[in-house]
Amino acid sequence: MADEEKRIDAETGTETTGHSWDGIEELNTPLPRWWLWTFYACIVFAIGYAIWYPAWPGATSGAVGGTLRQGVAADIAEHAKGQAVWRDRINAAPLEEIVKDDQLLTFANSAGKAAFGVNCSQCHGSGAQGFAGYPNLNDDAWLWGGSLDEIYHTIRHGVRNEDSDDARYSEMPAFGDILAKAEITDVANHVMSLGALEHDAGAAARGAEVYADNCSACHGETGAGDPEQGAPRLNDAIWLFGGDADHITAQIKQPAHGVMPAWGLRLDDDTVKALAVYVHGLGGGD
């Protein structure tokens, strides 16, 4: 058992702790000096740190006066306050006035561009260039009208959705159930002739009558389209779904019906207005 007696160990010259087990004694080797100083330095640092920074959550705010997170929150609040002035002015001004006022226009364009990146680019593309079924917003071809007011209405209420009573609505019938196969081929060729695509002239001539009877009410006699019904212009080189016989025939047989959400239900009105101004600036002018 331990005989609790400290002595100097002959081998190492170090004092023992006095603990001994079965004759094995424990040396009381002092801590290295460098280690001790580092330890003390850490204590001093910790005290300084606890005073300088908010070390006790909710209890101390630190001599530095708050966390980085609070700093960011304050910056954001400050920024929002600066923007509120502009948002109020956008809210108050009619669309035509926003585009006439250089400062308002600049603010609306940058707010619109930012909101577009977040809400619209997944369908219309980050450059608003569109994809099959999702219209390009840069060109001056508009399904539902390209004036500021029309664009605002389309964005605010959306297209063929069930959320807004004022959503744009129309439905091209499925002519696969209405016309004979040969008539569909003929009218598709007629559409391709309107769009100056390669076509069978004989079929296109026969298709003219089918077109006049079934299609002109929406797409116009000459294929100019009708923004009242969101019917695309067919006599240009811009195709929503694809400018070839397969896509055109598919649309005639079993049409796609594009749907867009009503953004007025999700975004503040000043954001919708900014978006209308931004989109109008991309390709509007109608």
Contact 130, 137 (CB under 8 A): yes
Q: Is 284 in the site for ligand HEC (CB under 6 A)?
A: no
- Number of helical (H) and strand (E) elements in the chain, helices listed first: 11, 2
Q: Contact between 28 and ligand HEC (CB under 6 A)?
A: no
Minimum separation from the CB atom of position 281 to ligand HEC (A): 12
Q: Give the shortest CB-76-to-ligand HEC separation in angstroms.
A: 23
Q: What is the dihedral of CA 15, 18, 24, 26, to 10 degrees?
A: -50
Which one among 148, 156, 239, 270 touches ligand HEC, defined by CB under 6 A? 239
Residue closer to ligand HEC, measured from CB, 99 or 151: 151
Residue 20 or 170: the one with the smaller Cβ distance to ligand HEC is 170
Comparison of 15 and 200: residue with beta carbon closer to ligand HEC: 200
Of 99, 104, 155, 282, the residue at the interface with ligand HEC (CB under 6 A) is 155
Q: Which two tokens stand for residue 281?
A: 């600036």
Beta pairing partners, 20? 25
Site string for ligand HEC, 135-154 (x = CB under 6 A): x-x----xxx------x--x
Asked if 207 contacts 190 with a C-beta cutoff of 8 angstroms, the reply is yes
Q: Which of 11-19, 64-72, 88-96, 244-252 is the region at the interface with ligand HEC (rule: CB under 6 A)?
A: 244-252
Closest residue to ligand HEC, judged by C-beta, is 258
264 binds ligand HEC (CB under 6 A): no
Closest residue by Cα to residue 202 from 193, 212, 213, 211: 193
- List phi, psi (to 5°) of 196: 55, 35
Torsion from C-alpha of 251, 257, 260, 261, nearest 10 degrees: -160
What does DSSP assign to residue 4?
Answer: -
Residue 251 binding ligand HEC, by CB under 6 A: yes
Evaluated on CA atoms 79, 81, 86, 90, the torsion sign reads positive
Residues that bind ligand HEC (CB under 6 A): 116, 119-120, 122-124, 133-135, 137, 142-144, 151, 154-155, 159, 170, 172-173, 175, 187, 191, 214-215, 217-219, 229-232, 234, 239-241, 248, 251-252, 255-260, 263, 275, 279
